[in-house]
Homo-oligomer: A and B are copies of this chain.
Amino acid sequence: MGRRGPTLEDVAREAGVSRATVSRVVNSVRNVDPGIQEAVRRAIDRTGYAPNLAARSLVTRRTETVALILSGAGETFTARVFSDPFFGRVVEGALGFLRARGVHPVLLLAESGAAREQVVAYLRQGSADGALVVSVQADDPLAAMLADTAIPAVHFARPSGEPPVSHVDLDNAEGGRLAGGHLLARGRRRIATICGPQDLPAARERLRGFRETLGQAGISEVPVVEGCFTVESGAAAAARLLSEHPHLDGVFAANDLMARGACQYLSERGRSVPGDVSVVGFDDSSAAVACRPALTTVRQPVERMAAAMAELLTEHLQGTRTEPATLVFAPELLVRDSS
């Protein structure tokens, strides 16, 4: 409908001053007589005045609103968002930062092409000053769509595609190193890995770091099978590894789902985890905790990364930062029962 609440004009009349003065009080601009300030405050209370954002942002060109976009694909994306704690951690981190600064955070879900269009339309209309984007899709078109609109945006992980954009990322190579170091520390020497699709930079980096660490320990031959981040591909990869290297005693999978698949296959083949084989995953997703045994995994400091995204965006919005920036975070090893 169209609630037509009291306007500045009404408050001004009530307080016996001009619109401008009321505006100054509302926006706490200095140079307002304390007495008048009080009078205006009372008038605001009496009238129940609330500034109209449309009018304000029409002139300031700002909404004090930031969109947090969760993007992905598929029928089940919404269900996934609301069952994988990962998103909760992102939201937690971002909201914490934004709220403290009086910025209104709005969550937008972009789970289909149509939804993405609507999200972009929302932003192009000027309904938010900028966007924080978390995509879990390989070649999410959203990044490019957003780049076209020239709306300030900060991404979680580097989007594929040309123009460099501001983003936070994990030191994936270091994650691989942590996993490798941990397996070595557990006394494992016949170690293999299930890597992710090698066209993904993150997957490449994890593998690189992992190999690096093993190499430094004198293990230069590391059996590698590529999976595609699903439980099934993890199990299949484990099958191949086990057939070619029956005495395997350690496995690093580039994500938790594949690690889980590997665990399943290993127990089916009579290998106990972690008795015979130590398994390390990556992500600390809900799969890590649900897995039996609970997965040792490499965790991203998601909350801090999300807060950093919000901070980066704020800097872009304020103009304190103009060039695209990249913030890289250190992963943490989380030891559970699988290693």
Contacts and interface: CB of A to CB of B under 8 A. Distances in A.
Contacts of A5: 124
B54 A53 contact: yes
Contacts of A23: none
Interface stretch (A114-122, A211-219, A259-267): A114-122
Interface stretch (A88-96, A176-184, A189-197, A249-257): A88-96
Given A52-B126, A60-B2, A88 B99 contact: no
A79 interface: yes
A239 interface: no
A37 interface: no
- Oligomeric state, in number of copies? 2
Interface stretch (A105-113, A223-231, A292-300): A105-113
B85 A85 contact: no
A215 to B, nearest CB: 39
Contact of A58 (B55, B85, B102, B149): B55
Given A4-B61, A58-B55, A107-B107, A78 B50 contact: no
Size range of the chain A interface in the assembly: 35 or more
Contacts of A122: 65, 104, 106
B126 A54 contact: yes
Given A3-B126, A53-B127, A118 B104 contact: yes
Contact of A61 (B2, B84, B114, B149): B2
Nearest to A98: B118
A81 B85 CA distance: 9
Contacts of A63: 54, 127
Contacts of A52: 58, 125-126
A51 interface: yes
A44 to B, nearest CB: 12
Interface of A: 1-5, 50-55, 57-58, 60-63, 65, 78-79, 81-85, 87-89, 91-92, 95, 99, 102, 104-109, 114-115, 118, 121-122, 124-127, 129-130, 149-152, 286, 316-319
Given A78-B88, A106-B106, 11 more contacts: A2-B61, A3-B126, A53-B126, A53-B127, A55-B58, A79-B89, A82-B82, A104-B121, A105-B109, A106-B107, A106-B122
